[in-house]
Structure formats: C-alpha cells, structure tokens
Chain A
Amino acid sequence: MKSIIAEELVKTYDKGKVRALDSLNLDVEEGTVLGVLGPNGAGKTTTVRILSTLLRPDSGRATVAGIDVIKNPEKVREVIGLSGQYAAVDEILTGYDNLVMFGELYHLGKKNAVARANELLERFSLTEAAKRPIKTYSGGMRRRLDLAASLIVKPKILFLDEPTTGLDPRGRQEMWGVIQELVKGGVTLLLTTQYLEEADQLADEIAVIDTGKVIARGTSDALKKQVGGERLEVVVDASNIPKTVEIVSTVSGNKASLDEGIRMISAPVSTGSQALFEVLKALDSAGIHPLDVGLKRPSLDDVFLSLTGHAAEVKEEAK
C-alpha cells in the first residue's frame, strides 16, 4: 500500500513566473523511506509543504495515508509528523517546556504530555539539557528536539525537510542514528536532502528532483551505477605523471584523465578499496611515492551532471 501519493503537483509563485513544482509525481510505499534529493530551489521544500498541508498546490492531487491533503487537511495533520529545515521550537522555553506544550496541543492531557516529554527527552539523549532554554543548545540538539516534537503522537508518516543541513559532521552522524532507529520502528518517511551520502545512508529509494520534476528514481545502487560509481584519484610529482597515468589506466580498465594544473590523475573504478590497494602496490613497485591518493564517491553534482548534463544549479529556495 502507498502511504504517500503525489500526482501532477503544480505550484507557481510570482503570478506564474516561477514554477516551483512542474507536474511532480511521487509515491512512498508504507513502511519505507524515500529520499528526495535535489539542489536548493529544486522544489523539495515546496513538495513537503504541500504534503504536510501547509501549502495548497495550484493543481494536482495528493493523499497521505489515503487522505486527501487538499480536501481534508485537518485529518492529515492527525497522522503526520513534520520537522522542517529550521528547528521550530521556542528558543526561550526549555526543551521540556516545548515538548509538554506540544503534547498538550495534541490533546494528550497534562499528565500524559509530561510522561511523553520525558520519554522522548530520554530517547534523544536530551534529558540532561531538558531544563535549559533551547538557545543554549547546539545545532544538533535543536534538531533532535525538533524531531522529538514531531514524534509526540507516534505518527505513522513522517516528513523530514533537510534534517541535517547546517549540522557539523558529528551532529549529522547523531541525527542519522536517530533517524535509523525510527525507521526500524516501521515509520513511513519522506526525507529531503542535498547530500547523496545522506540519501544513501537513510533511504530505501531515492527520487532526484530538478526544477520541480522528478528526473530519476531508483535505489541508491541503481543511481550510482547510472552515475558511474567511484573515482580513483592520485596526485604525484610532475616527473612521475606519465608512469602513473599508465598504472591508473591499467587498474581502472578505463583511460585515466589528467589534470595537469594540480598533477592529479583520475579514473572511474568499480572495485572500490580493492582498486585503491592495487594502485598503491603498483606505484610502490615502480618506486613512485604519491603525494595524495584517494577514492572519491559520486556527489550530488556528479549525479546531476550525469542525469541532466548540467551541474546542480543553486537557485533561491522558493518558500
């Protein structure tokens, strides 16, 4: 069964001049995670806002848990959780106060709201900070609290709009851990992100969107195959370039390309760390000491380049 269905969604701004969504179609199978991947301005946030009843599309249909988001927004609000790009919590209030307030707004009653707040604070490792105002929290703690606020009534369907944008690597790792836990609990999740790695970590399926349309859809593996997988990159002294080009080409099975300015030789590889090991061995026996060597995983830019033929254009995110 499909938990989320969007059909031919169109949303324009500035009297039709800006087409934020251009007949967007997507669906999410119950209990799975769909990663919506795209650059700023591609229409990710607009999609989430329409599906979570905050915004009405100009045309098209959408259902969440079988409920029409345009005709019955108040019913949809009862089954969804939403956590946006900004941590939407009261800065001045404490983490505990925020969660109790949202619990009461969900009509849990004071006693249950308190119990649920404590449970969520514990689960998201925020118990120690519970009685401190949010303004003293780190970026990662704020996002975790915001996520906790969206989980108060144990929604079956969750929308996370760029949950790790702006977080440092550690905050991102923690957030991923929390989201993975949630997914194990069986929630249906639609997650937007600008990072291929994040979609790779968290999503069962990825929909790539550009200029308001889904331009590719599939599992992370399938997308990567389309993109061409990893690239091996080696930087050496100028005198060793010809020999290194030869070695990298042999290991890769493809002709290596050379960037003379930075003396970097690179080629696509399909065997990952195995290829890295082979290149190092070959370089060593040829007496070449590389200045830098590594595997570069495909980025969002690589995905876009191979899918659209142009780099990910960053536009002003339409609100």
Chain B
Amino acid sequence: MSAFRDTLIITQRQLRLLTRVPEVLIFSTIQPVMFVLLFRYVFGGSINTGQPGGYVQLLMPGIFVQTVAFTLAGTASGLAEDMKKGLIDRFRSLPISQSALVIGRTLGDSLLNIVVLTVMGIAGYVVGWRPSGGLGNVALGFLFLLFFGYALSWVGALVGLSASDARVVQNVSFIVTFPLTFLSNAFAPTTGMPRALQYFAEWNPVSTMVAACRELFGLKNQFGATAGSFPSEHPLTTSLVYMVVIMAIFIPLSLRKYRNASN
C-alpha cells in the first residue's frame, strides 16, 4: 500500500535527521536524565513516601510521563519549521498520500521516545529505581508511555500546523505542558494543593498516566488525594480513554489542517 510506504519514507527521514544532528538526541536525553538526578537528590531526602525504596520509586513514573508529554512540543516545532521553510508545500505538491507527512512525523517522534525512555530507565536504575511489577507489567507500562506520547504528538501536530510563527510554537507548547505536568501527582502528593486544584490534578491525564505506571511498576499509588474517585480507582482505564479521545479528536483535525495548510 503506497500510503503506508510514503509514511515509512517520512519516518526514515525523521530518523536520518537524528543521525545527522546527534545533538538533538543528546539534548533530548540529557534533560530528563538531569531531572531524574535533580529531583532524586533535591526532593528525595525531604519527601517522606512511606514506601520501601524511597522517593525515586514514585518519581520515575512521574518523570517518564513528563518526558513523553514534551513530545507535544517536539512535533509542534518540527512541523512549524517545515511549514516555514516551505517543505510542507513541496510535500503537498507531490503525488503522495496527503497524510504521510504528519503520520510519519508523529511516528518518528515516538521512535525517539523509545531511545529517550531507555536512557532514562538506565539512569533511574543507577540511582536506585527498582520496578517490582514483573517484566510483563513493566513492559506494558512503557507501552502505555509510548502510546501517551503518540497521542500528545497529534496535539502538537495541530499546534505546529496552526502556528503563524515557528518561534512561538515552542513557547506555547511549554506553557501548555508545563502546568499540566506539575498540577499533577507526578512529583509531589496532591494532598497539599488547594481543594479545587486537587480535583483538577486528579482528573489531569498526566496524573492518571502516572498513577497507571506506578500501578504497573508495582507501587501503591498514594498520591491520589480524594480516594475513591473514578480516576484514582481506575487509572489504567481512565488513561486509555483519555488517549483514545485525544487521538479521535486531534488526528482528524490535524490531517484536515494539513490538507488545507495555507488556505
């Protein structure tokens, strides 16, 4: 099928770009590794988790989710850059599948996530992270993370294709993702937040993802504030629903935006 082949060629292009500019790969792994070390040693000593293995066990799922959430910014700025340089016009004037470029880009960004998560996992292990959920569950956890990154990549695609200026895209994406990752259970218990924020944090997809990963990595998720609510009881199901909903909304919107780019 030619649409499939076109997509593969675009994905290959993404990967070739990575090998040509190794800095991209290096910096996109250095930042999360840095976060692992900072949070582990700055907060780890003062946050009493009451869990065996200490703060790092709770921290790692949080940092994993935060890192894949930043896929949004990566896809957005990549596509905005392609728009600015006229590459999107070139691709759109070719007799190829009109969705190949965007699908290829989101797939390529997800492949990058595999590398980044691997490096982070190793860094986590070095500083004491020991998932205990069993190999199958841990693998499922990583699959969940990749899937979450892929869903957010489509949000980024819409942002990137809608942007009037490539420089704005990076800032906008961070303004969206930063509060989302911090107004959650990722780094600290939500119980310390004002009541209204606790509700927000609890339903925040970042929180449900973090809770889901903690569960799969063999931890009891103790950061859910209002116990008994649906997302805190069923983090895996809630996360899955979120991802499907995000993709159901943003894939068609992004593809339509691409076809009408510049109209």
Contact = CB atoms under 8 A, between A and B. Distances in A.
A80 B92 CA distance: 12
B46 interface: no
A319 B88 CA distance: 14
How many interface residues does chain B have, given as a range? 20 to 34
B20 A92 contact: yes
A87 B84 CA distance: 11
A319 B93 contact: no
A102 B93 contact: no
Given A82-B93, A97-B16, A102-B94, A90 B9 contact: no
Interface in B25-57: none
Interface stretch (A104-112, A202-210, A213-221): A104-112
B17 A92 contact: yes
Given A74-B95, A105-B9, A86 B2 contact: no
B232 to A, nearest CB: 45
A88 B94 CA distance: 12
Interface string B1-33: 010011001001100110011000000000000
A19 interface: no
Contacts of B90: 82, 84, 88-89, 102, 149
A89 B93 contact: no
A231 B85 CA distance: 41
B20 A101 contact: no
A133 B17 CA distance: 11
A209 B93 CA distance: 24
Contacts of B241: none
A133 B92 contact: no
Given A55-B263, A106-B95, A90 B6 contact: no
A82 B89 contact: yes
A89 B87 contact: yes
Contact of A77 (B12, B16, B93): B93
A84 B86 CA distance: 8
Contacts of B94: 77, 102, 105-106
Contacts of A78: 95
B24 to A, nearest CB: 9
Interface of A: 49, 52-56, 74, 77-78, 80, 82, 84-93, 97, 101-102, 104-107, 133, 149, 319
29 contacts: A54-B89, A54-B93, A55-B262, A56-B263, A74-B95, A77-B94, A80-B93, A82-B89, A82-B90, A84-B90, A86-B85, A87-B86, A88-B86, A88-B90, A90-B17, A92-B17, A92-B20, A92-B21, A93-B17, A101-B13, A104-B9, A105-B96, A105-B100, A106-B94, A106-B95, A107-B2, A133-B20, A149-B90, A319-B262
